[in-house]
Structure 1
Amino acid sequence: MVTLDVWVGHDLVGVLGHDPKANQFSFDYAAGWRNAAGRFPLSPQLPLQRPAGETAEQHSAQVRQFFENLLPEGEALDHAAQSAGTTRSNLVGLLIALGKETAGALRVTLTDDTAAAPAAAGADQLREITPAQLSERIRERGNLPFSVWDGKVRLSIAGYQDKIAVYEREGRWYLVEGGRLASTEIVKPVPVRPQLASLPANEHMCMQLARRVGLEVAPTRLVHVPEPVLLVRRFDRVEAPDGVRRLHIVDGCQALGLSVAMKYERAYGDGAEVAHLREGVSFPKLFSLVDQSPLPAVDRLGLLRWAIFQVLIGNTDAHGKNVSFFCDERGLRLAPAYDLVCMEALDVGFGGAYAMAYGDAFSEHELSPYEWGHFAYQCKLPFRLVANELDTLAGKVLAVMDALVADSLQQDVPAAVAQRFKEVVLGICDRQRVHTKQISRAKRADYE
């Protein structure tokens, strides 16, 4: 049995175990964590006390799915595995290599590794990354993975895009190791694929638009080194006089107990033979999580606005790992929005189907007033509320777009990128806004 200790700050949360012969995982909360005031489970699917009747196989599946969702995806996962000398399917090996700073509050160390335990951590080690070094590494990605710096994997954040996490102090960026500090910014360079060259500017404009129309979003900045780089402020980190405090979050897959492979509602693909298999994350499933919020009305409205905004910006890749919740003793609270992208404006020839359906609509041309009403019915939302929020958000987008474009041009967003973004988003807003009166007149009987 191989065991890993899981920490929040200096507190031992529990022990993750793996039996290699049975290939089964277990997670046992530490007595000090389970019994102390203000403690909380890592996710709704990993309660402080195991459910009665839960089998070892069921428990193992939930544990594996929770911790696998902490890892990067795609090539980033391949690079991490290669650098660590393990395989992409070896969860324990990857957590040992990447677990020092995961998304949220968790820190994973090998049991009895006194050098890595938080209580024994010495002075923080800061390794500065200058803009020139960052530019050089962006250009060298054909030979050296962007996530590997100084022979170490510096990526422990889920997702496909190239990114690293840095600590920012007085406008300078550092790779950080130690128990007191942690990264505060996510650095996302321009992708390698030429067709995605506008992605940093596109995402920045989406995030800024969301902020201007009233959504709570992670702060972003667009810088040039001279390559465009998007900096995203981490909402799971809070700077304090004694260091950086980490906040525990779970994404939609973790909160629902689903693997990363189920982040799309049509997890098995969009082909005609499998399109009816909708076992992955969906809007009704996400809205069911709001019942665990101490402020359900606030979070239900926030999640509704998040869902509508994805349509308005043409973000067809808004999947279950792109929505997160703060998780503590009070329950789940909706976290700020992130990874907002206008896929249609990228013109890359993919992304036509929504990651999650609105009713039964998986594309904008299918998104009729009936399907908006179906979405409201499935998610237990008032029809008039959905109609009002769609009308209000679309109106706000129309009102702020010109100022957003002007500000984006001042930040060296190419004029063609900004103009294409404006055309796509305003077109969607105009088309969807006309549905609001019909949506508000829908009745539950229409869907029962």
Structure 2
Amino acid sequence: MHLNRGGALVGCAFRYDAAYLRDTRAYALCPELPLTPGNIPSGSDRPLFGVLADCQPDQWGRTLLFNAERRAARAEGRGFMTLTEVDFLLGVQDETRLGALRFSLDEGKTFMGPPRAEVPDLVDLPSLTDAADAVAQHRETDHDVRLLVAAGTSMGGARPKVTVKDAEGDLWMAKLPESGDRWDVQAWEYLTLRLASDAGIEVPVARLHRIGPSRSILLTRRFDRRPDGGRIGFLSADSLTQKAFFEVIDYRTLAETLADHSGRPATDGHDLFRRVAFTLLVRNVDDHMKNHGFLRRADGWSLAPLFDVNPNPFAVVESTPLRPGGTRIDRDVRVLLATADSYGLRQDDARRVLAEVAAATSGWTRIAQDMSLPAEEIALMAEAFENPNRDEAQAA
């Protein structure tokens, strides 16, 4: 990795080991790193290779690592160390790191990361929630920061997330509430995952823990781990499309890129169309390229289970456009139908999928009532679920 004097990453180079290139199981870690000998330089608009960026912390995790360094500097009586992309890459607990990469300087005898700490258990969730609240309100203690860092910092996004273990040792991602939430965000995401499953979309195993009025914790089993604990390669759509920082990737481009890298392009293309239709019908507007993922299978990259899907009653949010140059606000399901061929679907099949998703999502009020969600939240969320695309879907 090449850093400038201010510590900012300006580029990097990568080289595969010769033994890896000879291995029949070897695969390119990301599109920027083809299976070729010699040094591979990063591009000027993407200074860090996607597979490395995907296992780094995002906004929430970086906040924790900055906080931990500031406290360590104060305790040790030294100046604050400028954290670089190298520090962020190695500041994640090895056990909880997203995807299949691990980092070692001694050929796998030991793996790099912060000082070893036990991953919290499910019983630690109340303490983790209190610690996250303290961070949000800038009243955290050293113990709060240590607990949250031990719970993993490689999950993306701005909202508080931690990794915990269950009694069998399986890893779960826990999404925690924020004190400023206007509705029970985790409960509504859980409801939306149930709707997605009804609509024929693969979702992770999920549980909901209610911890108070309009406050819940959403638990989803980590899908980048096998039942035996083995790790599964992960890439975000951001990395699969090699998206530059200021570039806007649309869904049609994503579908066409996925077809080039998937081991089962027809299945994945159809599944992606179904997910986009679902996104429009539940008004999930937080659907940028970091919120779509792919898992490495024997035959190539394939869609990971759906994650980070949140209905939003307020439409004025910039989201992923449906086609190149398309609008990022008030996206129209009719535009999605017009681009169905990019997903490998004929018009009749696309309309059938849309009808199935519309039927599955129409039962949202029943599930909300079964979950005993507050009537005022149900009335608010009607703006998301009963949006104009539902009428268009029924008409189509």
When normalised by structure 2's length, the TM-score is 0.81
* 1:343 match: secondary structure: coil
The aligned residue for residue 234 of structure 2 is 249
1: distance between equivalents of 2:346 and 2:219?
Answer: 37
2:55 paired with 1:70: yes
Q: 1:295 aligns with which of 241, 261, 264?
A: 264
In the TM superposition, residue 313 of structure 1 has moved relative to its aligned partner by 0.4
Percent of counterpart pairs with the same letter? 20
- 2:104 is aligned with 1:106: no
Distance across 2 between alignment mates of 1:95 and 1:222: 31
What pairs with 1:39-438 in structure 2 (closer than 5 Å)?
39-49=26-36, 56=41, 58=43, 61=46, 63-84=48-69, 86-87=81-82, 90-98=84-92, 100=94, 101-109=96-104, 111-112=105-106, 116-117=110-111, 125=118, 127-128=120-121, 129-141=123-135, 142=137, 143-144=139-140, 148-150=145-147, 152=149, 154-169=152-167, 184-195=171-182, 197-226=183-212, 227-240=215-228, 244-259=229-244, 261=245, 267=246, 279-288=247-256, 289-344=258-313, 347=314, 351-358=316-323, 360-364=326-330, 367=332, 369=334, 371-376=335-340, 381-398=345-362, 400-409=363-372, 413-422=373-382, 424-428=384-388, 430-436=390-396
Instruction: Give secondary structure in 2 for the equivalent of 1:301.
Output: helix
Partner residue, 1:446 = none
Q: Do the aligned partners of residues 95 and 256 (structure 1) sit closer, same or farther apart at CA in structure 2, a change above 3 Å counting?
A: same
Cα distance, 1:389–1:190 mapped onto 2, change above 3 Å: same
1:91-115 CA distances to partner (integer Å, 9 max, x unpaired)?
1111121162321111234x24987
2:16 alignment counterpart: 29
CA 1:236–1:91: 2 relative to 1, 3 Å: same
Contact 2:282 2:385 (C-alpha < 8 Å) held by counterparts = yes
Amino acid corresponding to residue 140 of structure 1 in structure 2: A
Equivalent pair of 2:28/2:35 in contact (CA under 8 Å):
yes
Comparing 76-85 with 385-394, greater Cα deviation is found at: 76-85
Structure 1, gaps ≥5 residues long? 1-16, 171-180, 262-266, 268-278, 437-448
2:249·2:321 contact (CA, 8 Å) conserved in 1? Answer: yes
CA offsets 1:253-308 (integer angstroms, 9 cap, x no match): 1112225x3xxxxx4xxxxxxxxxxx322212211212322222111111110111
Larger deviation, residues 205-214 vs 286-295:
286-295
TM-score normalized by structure 1? 0.72
Provide the rounded CA distance (Å) in 1 between the counterparts of 2:40 and 2:240.
20
Matched residues, number: 370
Amino acid at match of 2:380: R
Counterpart code for 2:219: L
Structure 2: distance between partners of 1:114 and 1:430: 52
Contact conserved, 1:221 with 1:231, CA < 8 A, in 2? Answer: yes
Instruction: Please state how far the C-alpha of 1:217 moved relative to its aligned partner.
Output: 0.9
Distance 1:324 1:394, change over 3 A: same
CA distance in 1, matches of 2:260, 2:288: 20
Q: Any stretches of 5+ residues in structure 2 without a counterpart? A: 71-80
Q: CA deviation at 1:331?
A: 1.1
* Residues 117 and 414 (structure 1), Cα distance of their counterparts in 2 relative to 1, 3 Å cut: same
Aligned partners of 2:291, 2:283: CA distance in 1, in Å? 15
Q: Does the 8 A contact of 1:99 with 1:108 survive in 2?
A: no
Larger proportion of strand: 1
| C-alpha contact (below 8 Å) 2:174/2:219 kept by paired residues | yes
Contact 1:70–1:103 (8 Å) recurs in 2:
yes
Contact 2:131/2:148 (<8 A) preserved: no
How far off is 1:207 after superposition? 0.9
Change (3 A) 1:396 1:429: farther
Alpha-carbon distance, 1:373 to partner: 4.2
- Give the 3 Å change call, closer, same or farther, for CA 406–78 of structure 1 in structure 2: closer
- Offset from partner CA, 1:147-168 (integer Å, 9 cap, x none): 8334845311121111111111
Worse-matched range after superposition: 419-428 or 217-226: 419-428
